[in-house]
Amino acid sequence: MTQTSQILRHILKKAESLKSKNLPALAVFDLDSTLFDVSPRLKQILHDFSADPTYRRLFPQAAEALKDIEMQKSDWGIRNAVIRAGLDHHHPEFHQSLREFWLKTFFSNEYLKYDRPYEGAVNFVARLQELNVDIVYLTGRDVHRMGAGSRQTLLHWNFPLDDQRYQLVLKPEQGLDDAEFKSSWFRTIPDEKYQQIWFFENEPVNVHKVREHHPHIDILFFDSTHSGKAHPPTDLPRLIHFLIEEGGL
Ligand SMILES: [Mg+2]
């Protein structure tokens, strides 16, 4: 059994034990690059840019180079894909236009449908739900640009969401710092409400901040991709998927 599966099974066993004692537990999941692989969204953005008649006319060579670009799991944003297409030194007007297009599309309700849950994610969350664990999706996405799409995508993939025990928490406004927002949100949970809190997150900056301010929370580092603005934690459990590998729990 992989180390990731062992960690996940350990969490389910703990949840089962808490359930048997009627003790409440909470699992908090980040969305982008934790529950959901965003690389299909990124790929679609590059393809749509490439197919747009205006950009085709303005940047024929670059648009052609992006036509069949493939994303890699380690890509964070579109920068590495643009480098792989050989466009890193292309003229500034192209980079400016692509950046504006990316901002408009990546942070939009319309493009969230391209995201795909990571392997095992839907089932793992369902297992926690069965074990009476409350679920919160805590995301740096903001309500205005991505609230409706986030809700639709969660429901589409059968993640539990009822605004009571299963909640989606988004930034009220887009300018807020992600780490600050997430850490502050944890402060809103009454101290005695949960016996156990798990937090699943891929971004080291957020991991470090929450860890510093909320040492009682068990943080699971989801090792997919991140901003590179901070080193990944070396002494926290590390996950690379959500597959439990059933049998004997
Ligand atoms: Mg994330």
Percent of the chain at pLDDT above 70? 98
CA of 10 to the centre of ligand 1 (A): 23
The answer to the question of residue 245 being in a domain is no
* 64 Cα to the center of ligand 1, angstroms: 30
Contact (Cβ atoms closer than 8 angstroms) between residue 207 and residue 219: yes
Whether this prediction's pTM lies above 0.85 is answered by yes
31 and 133 inside one domain: yes
Residue 73: what pLDDT?
84
Q: Averaged over 233-244, what is the pLDDT? A: 96
Quickly state the pLDDT bin for 220 (edges 50, 70, 90). Answer: very high
**Structure confidence by residue, pLDDT tens digits, 58-85:** 999 999 999 989 999 889 999 999 999 9
What's the CA-to-centroid distance between 96 and ligand 1, angstroms?
A: 25
Rounded Cα–Cα distance for residues 84 and 66 (Å): 10
The arithmetic mean of pLDDT across residues 130-134, rounded, is 98
Cα 139 to ligand 1 centroid, rounded to whole Å: 7
Q: What's the whole-number average pLDDT of the chain?
A: 96
Instruction: Report how far ligand 1's centroid is from the alpha carbon of 201 (Å).
Output: 6
How many whole angstroms from 66 Cα to the centroid of ligand 1?
25
Q: Is residue 73 part of a domain?
A: yes
Please tell me the distance between residue 219's alpha carbon and the centre of ligand 1 in angstroms.
14
Within-domain flag for 69:
yes
* pLDDT tier for residue 248 given thresholds of 50, 70 and 90: very low
Per the structure, the complete domain to which residue 143 belongs is given by: 3-38+115-239
Specify whether 167 is located in the same domain as 75. no
Distance (angstroms) between ligand 1 centre and the Cα of 39 equals 12
pLDDT in tens, 174-205: 999 999 999 999 999 998 999 999 999 999 99
Are residues 128 and 58 both part of a single domain?
A: no
Task: Give the pLDDT band (50/70/90) at residue 123.
Answer: very high
Q: Are residues 11 and 131 in the same domain?
A: yes
Choosing from 55, 81, 113, the residue where a domain stops is: 113
pLDDT for the residue 247: 52
Per-residue pLDDT tens for 144-166?
999 999 999 999 999 999 999 99
Tell me: the pLDDT tens digits for 24-37? 999 999 999 999 99
Residue 132 and residue 74 share a domain = no
User: Is 246 inside any structural domain?
Assistant: no
- CA 224 – ligand 1 centroid, Å: 9
Query: What mean pLDDT comes out for the span 208-217?
Result: 98
Give phi and psi for 116, each to the nearest 5. Answer: -130, 135
What is the whole-number distance in angstroms between the Cα of residue 30 and the centre of ligand 1? 5
Domain annotation covers residue 21:
yes
pLDDT greater than 80 at residue 246: no
State how many domains the chain has.
2
Which residues are near ligand 1, the ion (C-beta closer than 5 Å)?
Answer: 30, 32-34, 202
Residue 141: per-residue pLDDT: 98
8 & 122 share domain: yes
